[in-house]
Structure 1
Amino acid sequence: MRLIILKELAAMPDGRCNESILADAVYACGHNPSRDVLRTQINKLGELGAARVTTIGSILVAQITEAGVDHCLRRTKIEGIRQPRLGA
Structure 2
Amino acid sequence: MSDFNEFLTLDARLVILRALNDQSDGRLNDSLLADVLDTYGHHRSRDWIRQQLRFLADLGAVKNTDIGPVMVAAITRLGADHVERRTQLEGVKRPSIGA
If the TM-score is normalised by the length of the shorter chain, which range does it land in? Answer: over 0.9
Aligned to 2:24: 13
Q: Percent of aligned pairs with the same residue?
A: 48
- Whether 2:83 is the aligned partner of 1:72: answer yes
Cα distance between partner residues in 1 of 2:30 and 2:45: 12
- Whether 2:55 is the aligned partner of 1:44: answer yes
Q: Compute the RMSD of aligned alpha carbons.
A: 0.6
Which runs of no fewer than 5 residues in structure 1 stay unpaired?
none
Question: Normalising by the residue count of structure 1, what TM-score does the alignment of the two structures yield?
Answer: 0.97
**Paired amino acid for 2:21:** A
Shift of 1:64: 0.2
Deviation above 6 Å: which 4+ runs of structure 1?
Answer: none
Q: How many residues of Structure 1 are paired with residues of Structure 2 in the alignment?
A: 88
Which runs of no fewer than 5 residues in structure 2 stay unpaired?
1-11
Which has more helix, going by share of residues?
2
**Higher-Rg member (1/2):** 2
Shift of 1:58: 1.1
Question: Normalising by the residue count of structure 2, what TM-score does the alignment of the two structures yield?
Answer: 0.87
Picking from 40, 48, 70, the partner of 1:29 is 40
**Paired amino acid for 1:11:** D
